[in-house]
Structure 1
């Protein structure tokens, strides 16, 4: 009997699950927020993922529920579980991706290395933390932030006064120390409901304007100790929070050679797009294997290096599809993935993967191919 996998959310991550679902013989169905979204080819329903009855109706026709994003409310998730629906990752795990304060507290319980942090309820609390941490700090809204949104670097407590005014009574903002880091890394883990896990190579991520712009896999100049510690942290978190599916652990490598956990994502992640073309098993296939409780695939790279470059914004004039010919002609080794989105400044509308044995050449080619779609 064919396993029916339901994905809540019709964005590019759901879109990129379509091809591997076909190859694995899975029946992929999508609950999209609106008509014409990235995953419209597999959209069998359109509706509000925050509405319990809408989600219940979608869940009746599938065997397992998974996600394109982490925004489905806890009350909806827990109602599905109470109905007997298989939900992967489940609400007990997803809460740590939905609320950064809850995440920080759980990571502290697990003994995972992370920046110093606190829950602050007013400008006075924030100012005290700033004073205790060198005169600067990072303030985050606990819920809803992504790609640099909901994050501020502040030097005074009053710089977050508008956010404090919007915080519901009894709740708080998250403040973290300003970490001095040499680079950002990401560690991906896949975990089945049975508990079996596999790890991908740790990768280096390059952020611009709070958005991931490039990924190099595996992370260059990574000592064996760093590789081992990153994987150990990823496995410890995956096991400790009981995640099922793909887990991405965003990391800082500090000036004094420590590794600290920045944030978590419980779905395929931008830092893993390289694996579509650069690993034995890409992250979208792996996520489907994991949530369907199928044997996990191997994760080692196919080439010495793979570089992913995001297409951010897209062309000011014309369409993305109109740029394919020139990009493919000049860079036939590049693998181009677009998301079916209209170009807009700063918007992720696609990415390019290039693999090979010379890192400088791979980086150059990936950037040059992606540039065809930006100009």
Structure 2
């Protein structure tokens, strides 16, 4: 009999696990806050925080634990593993996925290509790295941060000094700013025994440091696709991931390399869970990332990752109106779009949903998805 699965977190990723769980007959229990997206549509919720108390109360109800976010008490996750409860992904995998420095140490040693980097705490250390590798630089907090938070682009020492002051002398991960041509994500599903299913890379398009669009297939050369897939497989095997893993990659050249030469494919960061870049798989692949995450966590055979064809996903970000108020009008005007709203309270700048479209080519799909997303966020008098 399939295990009863405990999910730490109750946001939109948890909510999107429900349809495949219902179809497969899998039982889910969520650790969530009362106002979380999943709480409004699912009765089996343990209310609480992802701390020792909340995790142990969830563990009492389930046969295996997984996560929809990484902000969990890793010490308690390790203790539960030691007591015999399967934790998928493991606490060790989550530790690597949440620490950008550890990612570069562990994965770089395994042969995953990474940009030059150093951990610095002083302006002098930043100056030395900039002199060696060229300016501008990217400064990142090693842990935490998303959608551009905890990341700074610095052009000179004055800007670097301001960042050092802002973080209060905490260590910063430094990398040279690449001349990016594309950003990619490779999604990998992996079972406890090591069976993996790798999705073809998708292209992620960033606007104001937040993922705005995901395109399938990416607009890159076949060799880049092959290298990205190989990197995704290597990362999953190296950290022993179980469940879904998103491997985010940069495609570009280091400063001063000009326009000649081949683009490098380099590690950006990881997410050991279903990921925004994989939402396109709901309509765009034979098996969605959410279904394969559940299959892997339950140690069931993985589903085919084959693409259904060119597709585009556009995030719905809070604009002038609540997208829920524009749903009927959008569905009427763009019937080919698949609209997903997360049931979150409206706030400008917040991710409130996404739209996916499948078409004859990726640009045609993109036009449909963008139009639907624009209609969901524009005031009625400004419909496009």
Tell me the residue number matched to 2:241.
243
Aligned residues between the structures: 365
Looking at structure 2, the residues matched to 105 and 159 of structure 1 have their Cα atoms a distance apart, in angstroms, of 27
- Structure 1 counterpart SS, 2:200: coil
Q: In 2, distance between residues paired with 1:164 and 1:214?
A: 30
Measure the CA separation in 2 of the matches of 1:72 and 1:166: 25
Kindly report which structure 2 residues correspond to 1:106-255, keeping only aligned pairs within 5 A, or say none: 106-154=106-154, 155-156=156-157, 157-165=160-168, 167=170, 172-220=171-219, 222-255=220-253
Partner residue in 2 for 1:307: 312
The answer for the alignment partner of 1:83 in structure 2 is: 83
Among 281, 288, 296, the residue aligned to 1:282: 288
Query: Structure 1 residue 293 and structure 2 residue 299: aligned?
Result: yes
- Measured after TM superposition, the shift of residue 3 of structure 1 is 2.3
Question: Separation in 2 of the partners of 1:309 and 1:142?
Answer: 28
CA positional deviation for 1:48: 1.5
Residues 120 and 174 in structure 2, CA contact (< 8 A), matched pair in contact too? yes
Question: What is the RMSD of the two structures over their aligned residues, measured on CA atoms?
Answer: 1.3
In 2, the alpha carbon distance for the partners of 1:358 and 1:185 equals 18
- Within the candidate set 347, 351, 360, 2:350 is matched to 347
Q: Are the structure 2 counterparts of residues 4 and 166 from structure 1 closer, same or farther at C-alpha, using a change threshold of 3 Å?
A: farther
Cross-structure match for 1:268: 274
Structure 1 position 252, deviation (Å): 1.1
**Residues 190-214 of structure 1: CA deviation (Å, up to 9, x unaligned):** 1000100011011111001111000
1: CA distance, partners of 2:135 / 2:195: 44
Q: How big is the shift at 1:361? A: 2.0
Consecutive aligned runs of 4 or more in structure 1 exceeding 4 Å deviation = none
Q: Determine the structure 2 residue equivalent to 1:329.
A: 332
For residues 24 and 62 of structure 2, what CA distance do their matches in structure 1 show?
Answer: 16
Partners of 2:142 and 2:215 in 1: how far apart? 29
Equivalent residue number for residue 73 of structure 2: 73
Distance 1:130 1:257 in 2: 22
Deviation at 1:123, TM superposition (A): 1.8
Q: Is 1:320 the counterpart of 2:319 in the alignment?
A: no
CA distance in 2 between partners of 1:65 and 1:148 (Å): 29
Change (3 A) 1:163 1:97: farther
Question: What is the distance in 2 between the residues matched to 1:224 and 1:144?
Answer: 33
Contact 1:202 1:227 in 2 (8 A): yes
Q: Indicate conservation of the 8 Å contact 1:101/1:142, yes or no.
A: yes
C-alpha distance in structure 2 between counterparts of 1:347 and 1:257, whole Å: 33
Question: Does the aligned pair in 2 maintain the 1:123–1:160 contact within 8 Å?
Answer: no
Deviation per CA, 1:37-87, whole angstroms, max 9, x where unpaired? Answer: 11112351111112x132111111111111110111221211111121110
Q: Which runs of 5+ in 1 are unaligned?
A: none
CA distances 1:236-273 after superposition (whole Å, capped 9, x unpaired): 01000101011111111114321111111111111110
Deviation at 1:166, TM superposition (A): 5.3
Using the size of structure 2 for normalisation, the TM-score is: 0.92
Does 1:258 pair with 2:264? yes
Task: Map residues 89-108 of structure 1 onto 2, 5 A cutoff.
Answer: 89-108=89-108
The 1-side partners of 2:165 and 2:87 are apart by 37
SS in 2 for 1:225: helix
Cα drift, residue 224 of structure 1: 2.5
SS in 1 for 2:287: coil
User: Equivalent residues in 2 for 1:53-72 (5 A)?
Assistant: 53-72=53-72
- How far is 1:173 from its partner? 1.7
Q: Do the aligned partners of 1:10 and 1:37 also contact (CA within 8 Å) in 2?
A: yes
State the Cα deviation string for residues 263-289 of structure 1 (Å, max 9, x = none): 111111111100001100001011000
Compared with structure 1, are the counterparts of its residues 232 and 358 closer, same or farther at alpha carbon in structure 2 (3 Å cutoff)? closer
Q: Is the 8 A contact 1:191 1:290 kept in 2?
A: yes
Partner Cα distance (1:23, 1:199) in 2: 22
When normalised by structure 1's length, the TM-score is 0.94
Contact 1:246–1:286 (8 Å) recurs in 2: yes
* 1:160 positional shift: 1.7
Which piece of structure 1 moves more, 157-166 or 59-68?
A: 157-166
